[in-house]
Structure 1
Amino acid sequence: MAPSDQPVIDMDHLRSWIGREDIGAEVLSEDLARKYHAMFDMPGAPPTHGAAVPQLIHFCLAQPAVPTSGLGADGHPARGGFLPPVPLPRRMWAGGALTFHGDLKVGDAVRRVSRIADVALKEGRTGPLCFVTVEHRVAANGTLAIEERQDIVYRRADAGAAGKVPPAAERGAFVKPMTAGTPLLFRYSALTFNAHRIHYDRPYATEVEGYPALVVQGPMQAALLCTYAAEIRGAPPRRFAFRGLSPLFDTDAFALHATADGEGLKLWTAREGGPVCMAAEASW
């Protein structure tokens, strides 16, 4: 993209979104717990009323419900509502960090309060990157259960152009082989009410955004890693952070990896011979 083609990014205007809030509420139903359990092929019976649910299931709860007519060409809500109207076309969930104060349980009345905390412009290797930081507070029956920071990045359409190939990921001390075919991607998008087309519309993903296949959702990879951390240690972590490094596709066989890091765990996803896709840290 030539400099004359660069979009005009009015940071004063975008930063005027700082402080905006969005609030949602939903009861954590047995139906959602059952579907989440089935989606990930979890062992045993799904949790019933009063039982704790897997961490990060709240990504499926109280999500904004923008009318279909209010979606942009990529399937995301049109810009300029809760999120600022960043004039860069590609939007991705870059990562996040969570502190868990207690379990969410089936039957809980869950309330989410989301706030725009920061909007910052940086210059990346492939051009401008605009980062929007969203803070979420999730309460269960009026008691704070989760504090979360969400990092959203906006970039140019051609910012994924070929560059230096990242090194192959190391093998963890714990390894769990996985696949993420089209049905799983579709189910996760449905449960999270996420219409971003790169996760289910193959012609759009390959012909418009230039990916080789459908993109595996970053939050879903984070959910798999967080559940794996709890499986390894026998208890859910108190803190969990994750960051997307390379895309993972529905055609890839991949694995969850973990290794001890002091009292915590470092975790990551990677396809065989490929780079780290999602990196995470869990601590108790």
Structure 2
Amino acid sequence: MTDTPHATIDAAMQAHLQTWQGKSETHSDLIAAAPLAALTATLDRSDAAPVVGTELPHLWHWLYFLPHARQSEIGPDGHPQRGGFLPPVPLPRRMWAGSRLRWNTANPLLVGQDVQRTSTIQSVKHKAGRSGELLFVQVEHRYTNPKGEALVEEQDIVYRAAAEPGAPAPMPQKPPLAGQAAWSRSVTPDPVLLFRYSALTFNGHRIHYDRDYAIREEGYTGLVVHGPLLATLLLDLLRRHRPDAQVDSFAFKAVRPTLDTHTFSVHGKPSEDGKTIELWGEDHEGWLTIQATVQLTYND
């Protein structure tokens, strides 16, 4: 089935898309050192060069198992054409809305390991709200290394209707812990940062590097900072302030697009017992852009 970007999802289409529920695929990849070194540089870190046996920082597994669609198989938005593993959703705008991850702290992913990822489509749900039609696809990824299961991730992908000229933007939210952060960091999202992260994750989505497309076709006012990059910056903030902390689980939700037109900030606040960390991002006006919760333990 070919893409029909402005089609409406009727009952027949919804039923067809839901036949993708339960679909599964498995891929293998080698946890190589080069992507870690490259992301270390991109995040302006001074870590030692990774070698075989180096533990993969949390969320850096997104550097692996990348889609390798041929150039002739790329859709107009820069993503692979739809209708393969993911269903052929006819709504044109696609966004990674959030994830929930659980690590096996006794079995981390390490440089040099061969890892398998089994991906399963858990659900396909259609909704109609004030912002128009939405379709949610939930995908589960299970990562297994030679010692067994290392990580389970539930990923939420949302598809949206095309931007309507002059449509009102959703009401922004203030962070629940605004002004209470224990740690904060400002980040300048220049096009080089966005390009480097797109290259590292082999992400062709044009909203991250094609300003004309992002503005004219998808209704943004600048380039969009990757949701996974924002999530990675949140955990990087924790890593900078609590390098001894061991993450058990992490859940994040994208709330509002972060654009390259202004500096943004990331913030964190630990609970009294130190085992829960609230993390969030704010744009230049102080509006909430991404929200996350970490559960962790500490190495003795």
Q: SS of the counterpart of 1:13?
A: helix
Superposed CA offset, 1:130-174 (max 9, x none):
100000001122521110000000111126932353144423221
Task: Report if the CA contact (8 A) 1:177-1:255 is conserved.
Answer: yes
**Residue aligning to 1:273:** 285
Q: SS of the counterpart of 2:230?
A: helix
TM-fit CA distance, 1:87: 1.3
Task: Give % identity.
Answer: 41
TM-fit CA distance, 1:60: 1.2
**Residue aligning to 2:82:** 79
Superposed CA offset, 1:7-50 (max 9, x none):
13322111100111232221111212211211111123232221
* 2:151 pairs with one of 129, 146, 171: 146
Report the RMSD for the aligned CA atoms in angstroms.
Answer: 1.7
TM-fit CA distance, 1:228: 1.9
CA pair 148-72 structure 1, distance change in 2 beyond 3 A: same
Ranges in structure 2 where 5+ consecutive residues have no aligned partner: 1-5
Counterparts of 1:136-175 in structure 2 under 5 Å?
136-158=141-163, 161-169=167-175, 170-171=178-179, 172-175=181-184
d(CA) in 1 for partners of 2:192, 2:109:
26
Whether 1:202 aligns to 2:211 is yes
d(CA) in 2 for partners of 1:85, 1:6:
12
What amino acid is aligned across from residue 128 of structure 2 in structure 1? E
TM-fit CA distance, 1:52: 0.9
TM-score by length of 1: 0.93
**Residue aligning to 2:262:** 252
* 1:33 pairs with one of 28, 33, 36: 36
Task: Report if the CA contact (8 A) 1:227-1:236 is conserved.
Answer: no
What amino acid is aligned across from residue 83 of structure 2 in structure 1? G
What amino acid is aligned across from residue 210 of structure 1 in structure 2? G
**Residue aligning to 1:121:** 126
TM-fit CA distance, 1:122: 1.5
Task: Report if the CA contact (8 A) 1:267-1:279 is conserved.
Answer: yes
d(CA) in 2 for partners of 1:25, 1:142:
15
CA pair 60-81 structure 1, distance change in 2 beyond 3 A: same
d(CA) in 2 for partners of 1:200, 1:223:
19
Ranges in structure 1 where 5+ consecutive residues have no aligned partner: none
What amino acid is aligned across from residue 51 of structure 1 in structure 2? T
d(CA) in 2 for partners of 1:159, 1:55:
37
d(CA) in 2 for partners of 1:92, 1:144:
28
CA pair 164-27 structure 1, distance change in 2 beyond 3 A: closer
Task: Report if the CA contact (8 A) 1:114-1:137 is conserved.
Answer: yes
* 2:249 pairs with one of 215, 239, 243: 239
**Residue aligning to 1:57:** 60
Q: SS of the counterpart of 1:238?
A: strand
CA pair 272-8 structure 1, distance change in 2 beyond 3 A: closer
d(CA) in 1 for partners of 2:121, 2:50:
33
d(CA) in 2 for partners of 1:138, 1:159:
39
* 2:239 pairs with one of 230, 240, 243: 230
d(CA) in 1 for partners of 2:262, 2:87:
34
